Amino acid sequence: MSTVAERAQHAASLAPAFGVYVHVPFCPSKCPYCDFNTYVGLEPLAPAYLHALVCEAEMWKSRHELAEAGSYFIGGGTPTMLDEHLVASTLKDLVSIFGAAEDCEVTVEANPETCDASRLAFLREAGVNRLSIGGQSFSNNVLQLLGRRHSAEATRRAVREARAAGFDNVSLDLIFGMPGETDAEWNRSLIEAVALEPDHISCYALTIESGTAFGADVAAGRMPSPDDDVQAVRYETALDVLSAAGYRHYEISNWGLPSRHNLIYWTQGSYAGLGAGAHSHVDGVRSWNRKNPRAYAESPTAMREGEERLDDRERAVEWLQLRLRLVDGIDLNEASKRMGRDLRPAAEALGGIVSIDGDLMTLTRRGLLIENEVAIRLTA
């Protein structure tokens, strides 16, 4: 790319003008580290809940001038545990409301144990063109520690079934830093993930959240907290292994073919969040729904819990915090204009943490490990 601005805008340019997130809160079990709005045993509610999603979508369309949807992300939760005909019918209804751009990215999240060939083939035929598989590890020991229901072989099989069903855009999620995981197990997970040739790989450090089973275990002393130094080493291992395998690092935790939908979040784009607990950002207003799935199924258009409109400074700070996550970097001229002051002196004081090439600022390898601290120091 010929200019700093073009280089800094590369990944951001892939983000659709508008996207739709669909929250499916049903799960076969609750993972001990999960703090998402998910529930076990509510599957009988699914038909009413999915119908409610369509009602909420119609409300959004009636109240806002929205661009044609360039992405749909059906997440949760475990959408693929539901009847695939219900999921496909709901997607069809949503597309009839929001439209679908010619190059629309349609993602469904899946757990390996729900990825059977016939289900995936049906979803692919229904218009889903990207599958995000929560493999988490290729060590059965680590999967057991994480409370996962599937085996490493189930993940391998899920990727094979996805390819056989016609998916040419498959993403694989991995988690590192679980107490009890060894360096060798993490290294093997990366190597096995690469061997499956997914189009996209996400690597997330295990975090302990209050309100989760792991949170209670750590608070009670039954489980140690993840070691920050160990997690840093594991992250650097991911940088080395995935780079050597040819995966392009485009966001702090993500490699490969960018998720166009997730780029909306990192670039302050517009998206409607449908479902219990879903968040939205439309017309400069961030809003979120109440979390109760039963209440949502009964009255989806009366579920908004709160909203906020950021002022200019808050929006500029958020822009900087989010855009730092994109590895392509930030144009210092644009950042300074948004913040209303010259950021170059503050950036230059972060030697070894950020790299400055002309007007382009990027995080160094060390900086990738402490992105939050960099954002705090630049916006102070």
- The pLDDT value recorded for residue 7 is 60
Contact 143, 151 (CB under 8 A): yes
- The pLDDT value recorded for residue 380 is 85
The per-residue pLDDT for range 6-23, each reduced to its tens digit, is 665 666 788 999 999 999
The proportion of the chain whose per-residue pLDDT surpasses 70, expressed as a percent, equals 97
CATH number for the region 312-380 comes to 1.10.10.920
Contact 343, 326 (CB under 8 A): no
- The pLDDT value recorded for residue 272 is 98
- The pLDDT value recorded for residue 2 is 45
pLDDT above 50 (res 1):
no
The per-residue pLDDT for range 134-156, each reduced to its tens digit, is 999 999 999 999 999 999 999 99
Average pLDDT, the chain: 96
User: Out of 3.20.20.70, 3.40.50.1360, 3.40.50.720, 3.40.50.300, which CATH number does the structure's domain 4-266 have?
Assistant: 3.20.20.70
Q: Cβ neighbours of residue 65 under 8 Å, at least 6 residues apart?
A: none
Q: Where in the chain is the domain with CATH 1.10.10.920?
A: 312-380
- The pLDDT value recorded for residue 28 is 93
Q: What is the mean pLDDT of residues 208-231?
A: 97
pLDDT above 60 (res 161):
yes
pLDDT above 70 (res 321):
yes
Q: Where in the chain is the domain with CATH 3.20.20.70?
A: 4-266
The per-residue pLDDT for range 89-98, each reduced to its tens digit, is 999 999 999 9
- The pLDDT value recorded for residue 211 is 94
pLDDT above 60 (res 104):
yes
